[in-house]
Structure 1
Amino acid sequence: MNTVISFIIIFGALVFFHELGHFVFAKRSGILVREFAIGFGPKIFSYSKNETTYTIRLLPIGGFVRMAGEDPEMAEIKPGYRVALLLDEEEVVQKLILNGKDRYPNARNIEVESADLEHDLFIKGYEEGEDEQLQTFAISREALIVEDQVETQIAPWNRQFASKKLSARAMTIFAGPMMNFILAIVVFTIISVIQGVPVEEPILGVISPDGAAEQSGLKQNDAVLSIDGAEVSSFMDITEIVRAHPQEELVFTVDRDGQTMDIAVTPEKFVAEEEGGEDFGLIGVHAPLDKSFMKVATSGFKETYHWTIEIFRLLGKLVTGQFSIDMLSGPVGIYKSTEVVAQAGILYLMKWTGLLSINLGIMNLLPIPALDGGRLLFFGVEALRGKPIDRHKEGVVHFIGFALLMILMIVVTWNDIQQFFIH
Structure 2
Amino acid sequence: MVTAIVAIIVFGILVFIHELGHFTVAKLVGIKVHEFALGMGPKLIYTTKGDTLYSIRLLPLGGYVKMEGEDEKSEDERSFNKKPVLARIAVIFAGPFMNFILAIVLFLTFFYFVGSPTTIISKVQDQSPAQVAGIEAGDSIYAINGQKIHTWEEVTERISKSEGSPMEITIIRDGEHLEKTVIPMQDETSNRILIGITTTMKKSLSSAGENALFAIKSIVRGILEFLRNLVGRKVNTGEVMGPVGIINLVGEVSRTGLLDIVSLTAVLSVNLGLMNLLPIPALDGSRILFLIIEMLRGKPVDQDKEGMIHLIGFGILMTFMVFITFQDIQKLFG
TM-score class normalised by the smaller sequence: 0.7 to 0.9
Larger radius of gyration: 1
User: How many angstroms apart in 1 are the aligned matches of 2:172 and 2:26?
Assistant: 58
Partner in structure 2 of residue 385 of structure 1: 297
User: How many angstroms apart in 2 are the aligned matches of 1:307 and 1:206?
Assistant: 29
Relative distance call for 1:255 and 1:49 in structure 2 (3 A) is closer
Partner in structure 1 of residue 223 of structure 2: 311
The CA deviation at 1:357 is: 0.2
Q: Cα deviation per residue 1:76-109 (whole Å; 9 max; x = unaligned)?
A: xxxxxxxxxxxxxxxxxxxxxxxxxxxxxxxxxx
Partner in structure 2 of residue 195 of structure 1: 114
Relative distance call for 1:294 and 1:387 in structure 2 (3 A) is same
Runs of 4+ aligned structure 1 residues displaced above 4 Å come to 220-225, 237-241, 254-258, 267-270, 278-282
Give the 5 Å matches for 1:287-298.
287-298=199-210
User: How many angstroms apart in 2 are the aligned matches of 1:406 and 1:268?
Assistant: 43
Structure 2 residue ranges without an equivalent (≥5): 129-135, 142-148, 165-170, 176-185
Letter in 2 for 1:17: I
Q: Cα deviation per residue 1:106-147 (whole Å; 9 max; x = unaligned)?
A: xxxxxxxxxxxx76xxxxxxxxxxxxxxxxxxxxxxxxxxxx
Higher relative contact order (CA 8 A, sep 6+): 2
Letter in 2 for 1:54: Y
Partner in structure 2 of residue 58 of structure 1: 58
Alignment partner of 1:404 out of 312, 316, 319: 316
Partner in structure 2 of residue 23 of structure 1: 23
Pairs aligned (count):
302
User: How many angstroms apart in 2 are the aligned matches of 1:388 and 1:334?
Assistant: 38
Give the 5 Å matches for 1:44-193.
44-72=44-72, 157-193=76-112
Letter in 2 for 1:380: I
The CA deviation at 1:20 is: 0.3
Does the residue aligned with 1:69 lie in a helix, a strand or coil?
A: coil
Does the residue aligned with 2:199 lie in a helix, a strand or coil?
A: coil
Does the residue aligned with 1:369 lie in a helix, a strand or coil?
A: coil
1:419 and 2:314 correspond: no
Matched-pair contact (CA < 8 Å) for 1:269–1:281: no
Could you state the TM-score of these two structures normalised by the residue count of structure 1?
Answer: 0.63
Relative distance call for 1:238 and 1:178 in structure 2 (3 A) is closer
The CA deviation at 1:40 is: 1.4
Does the residue aligned with 1:199 lie in a helix, a strand or coil?
A: strand
Partner in structure 2 of residue 124 of structure 1: none
The CA deviation at 1:50 is: 2.4
Relative distance call for 1:371 and 1:305 in structure 2 (3 A) is same
User: How many angstroms apart in 1 are the aligned matches of 2:97 and 2:233?
Assistant: 29
Partner in structure 2 of residue 362 of structure 1: 274
Relative distance call for 1:281 and 1:25 in structure 2 (3 A) is closer
Q: Cα deviation per residue 1:260-280 (whole Å; 9 max; x = unaligned)?
A: xxxxxxx9986xxxxxxx677
User: How many angstroms apart in 2 are the aligned matches of 1:285 and 1:332?
Assistant: 38
Structure 1 residue ranges without an equivalent (≥5): 74-117, 120-156, 208-212, 214-219, 226-232, 245-253, 259-266, 271-277
Give the root-mean-square deviation of aligned CA atoms.
3.6
Relative distance call for 1:237 and 1:10 in structure 2 (3 A) is closer
The CA deviation at 1:200 is: 3.3
Partner in structure 2 of residue 135 of structure 1: none
